[in-house]
Amino acid sequence: MTISMYEASVPVFSARLKALSNVLATAEQNATERKIDPQVFLSARLAPDMFALTRQVQIATDHAKGAPSRLAGREVPKYEDNEASFADLEARIAKTVAYLATFSAAEINGSDDRMIDVKLGGRELSMPGMQYLLNLAMPNFYFHLTTAYDILRHNGVPLGKATFLGSR
Measure the CA–CA gap between 44 and 51, rounded to whole angstroms.
Answer: 8
The whole domain housing 136 covers 10-165
For the chain, give the mean pLDDT. 96
Measure the CA–CA gap between 127 and 70, rounded to whole angstroms.
Answer: 11
Q: Three-state SS for 157?
A: coil
* 4 located within any domain: no
Q: What is the CATH number of the domain that holds 20?
A: 1.20.120.450
* 3 located within any domain: no
pLDDT band at residue 168, thresholds of 50, 70 and 90?
A: low
Q: Three-state SS for 124?
A: strand
* 135 located within any domain: yes
Q: Rounded to whole angstroms, what are the CA distances from 10 to 91, 119, 136, 164?
A: 18, 21, 15, 18
Quick check: 130 and 108 in contact, CB under 8 A?
Answer: no
Count of structural domains, the chain: 1
* 43 located within any domain: yes
Please tell me the predicted confidence (pLDDT) of residue 12. 97
Whole-model pTM? 0.95
Measure the CA–CA gap between 146 and 123, rounded to whole angstroms.
Answer: 24
* 2 located within any domain: no
CA-based torsion, 96, 137, 71, 163: positive or negative: negative
* 143 located within any domain: yes
The string of pLDDT tens digits covering residues 35-88 is: 999 999 999 999 999 999 999 999 999 999 999 999 999 999 999 999 999 999
* 96 located within any domain: yes
* 34 located within any domain: yes
